[in-house]
Structure 1
């Protein structure tokens, strides 16, 4: 049986001026238009792999062009159009992948890329959904190691800022709200360190630096800031967390630890007005 939205290996049975008719072992046939050969040559009697779908006029056709997604698979696609009833994504063919409104778990924006799962809708056409969770794999033992740096695409975000990610576009991952500093939206690519691998194979990520590394980096940022501002700054361990995050992109806790370390090294001193470099 010829499968829509998937790759099929079919036999070339006959040729017409406009294309080739391909058949499966059960005698079901589909047209491969010569305009969709993509420069490849086929002849009667050949077996050839093609992708089968419904074109813009609702006709079943085969193509040698390889789409960016197929039924039952997840892919990272760009939204190229928005309407009142759904969105359209570039799937690499002469027609777009339609994402119905009911299949959008979050607002899609034109020009942005997101993870989508392809399926066949009730009309037989290829469609997509942002509900990809059940189609991602769990990491098997040995696939990844703790502390390994990986990247993933965010596909869901909870009220507590916990993120769900597809690691390497394939494996299910999670980043808890306290493991990232910035607001991260679905569709964004995130790089992080594997903090743990749960028993069920879900990968726990963090994009916070290890405690010592982060403190050392913040210490360098403080010294650099002081040197660029005449050796003084209006920030100390009494400064509000909001100001610290805005200027130094870190938490107040890390900032205070870095200040304490610099004072122990005799490099800075604090007063009621802020912090100063100690001249040596």
Structure 2
């Protein structure tokens, strides 16, 4: 049986000027599968050879083959670029002659043309390749990561409490709690993350934050730069609201207060009720 959206080992049955026909595994030659010359890649083949061909439906809705490896196959999650928006949905580049459809009902967030997002590839009811951003149920928690490991993850949505849902290595489920990030995140955004917890179900608890010392060093520099650029004064101090600290310094109030404390111990700043001054 031919598997659409996957690699099949098929015998080269006959040749034509424009390509080859592969055995469609039926007794009807009408079911033979076209492998066009432009989809041979760097392969040289002959009648009788067995080839590993990727099977898909072409722009004329015919079963076709390619020896050029696509960017993903059915059952996989991959970062793929949005190339067009139409009345029936969006199209993404999977590395085939024909881009594949992301139906409106298969979109869980807005897609921007030219941007990449994680998509799950499947075969629709008409045996065409299609994709969805609803990847959550296709992720696994069967991993070998440990607390302290660093990983690369991609945002694919948000929980109702604004915790960010993350896919790691196009395969594993993770989450960044809402109090672990202080900048705006968006679907498709790639992040360097640290594993800070592994939940009972195996899901990865992640954080984009640096360790405390590195984070404070960066924040200390930001505070000093701000003061130096504003004639040695800022209206912010350890009594400022968390919201305005986050807006200006991209920091939690807790870390902001720690950084101010470090700078005062270094005898670089002083505070009063009006704000903070360079010494």
Quote the offset at 1:189 in angstroms.
Answer: 0.8
Matched with 1:110 is 113
Decide whether the 8 Å contact of 2:182 with 2:246 is kept in 1: no
Distance in 2 (CA, whole Å) between partners of 1:253 and 1:193 is: 20
Quote the offset at 1:25 in angstroms.
Answer: 6.0
Deviations 1:236-268, CA, capped at 9 Å, x for gaps: 223333332232211222212221232233332
Matched with 1:88 is 91
Quote the offset at 1:34 in angstroms.
Answer: 2.0
Decide whether the 8 Å contact of 1:117 with 1:132 is kept in 2: yes
Matched with 1:2 is 2
Matched with 2:20 is 20
Decide whether the 8 Å contact of 1:237 with 1:259 is kept in 2: yes
Superposition map of 1:230-249 within 5 A: 230-249=231-250
Decide whether the 8 Å contact of 1:139 with 1:172 is kept in 2: no
With over 3 angstroms needed to count, the CA separation of the structure-2 counterparts of 1:40 and 1:222, relative to structure 1, is same
Secondary structure of the residue aligned to 2:223 is helix
Decide whether the 8 Å contact of 2:183 with 2:250 is kept in 1: no
| Structure 1 residue runs without a partner (length 5+) | none
Does residue 225 of the first structure (1) align with residue 226 of the second (2)? yes
Quote the offset at 1:191 in angstroms.
Answer: 1.6
Decide whether the 8 Å contact of 2:233 with 2:275 is kept in 1: yes
Distance in 2 (CA, whole Å) between partners of 1:114 and 1:74 is: 10
Q: Which TM-score applies when normalising by structure 1?
A: 0.91
**Count of aligned residue pairs for this structure pair:** 276
Quote the offset at 1:162 in angstroms.
Answer: 1.1
Quote the offset at 1:26 in angstroms.
Answer: 6.0
Matched with 1:174 is 175
Matched with 1:153 is 154
Decide whether the 8 Å contact of 2:14 with 2:47 is kept in 1: yes
Does residue 203 of the first structure (1) align with residue 209 of the second (2)? no
Matched with 1:47 is 50
Decide whether the 8 Å contact of 1:13 with 1:21 is kept in 2: yes
Deviations 1:173-196, CA, capped at 9 Å, x for gaps: 111111111221111112211101
With over 3 angstroms needed to count, the CA separation of the structure-2 counterparts of 1:25 and 1:55, relative to structure 1, is closer
| Mean CA deviation greater in 20-29 or 54-63 | 20-29
Deviations 1:58-101, CA, capped at 9 Å, x for gaps: 11111112111211111111111112321100111111110111
Does residue 124 of the first structure (1) align with residue 127 of the second (2)? yes
| Structure 2 residue runs without a partner (length 5+) | none
Decide whether the 8 Å contact of 1:181 with 1:208 is kept in 2: no
Quote the offset at 1:215 in angstroms.
Answer: 2.8
Matched with 2:137 is 134
Quote the offset at 1:216 in angstroms.
Answer: 3.4
Distance in 2 (CA, whole Å) between partners of 1:116 and 1:272 is: 52
| Mean CA deviation greater in 129-138 or 71-80 | 129-138
Distance in 1 (CA, whole Å) between partners of 2:179 and 2:260 is: 22
Distance in 1 (CA, whole Å) between partners of 2:179 and 2:261 is: 23
Secondary structure of the residue aligned to 2:226 is helix
Quote the offset at 1:218 in angstroms.
Answer: 1.8
Secondary structure of the residue aligned to 1:11 is strand
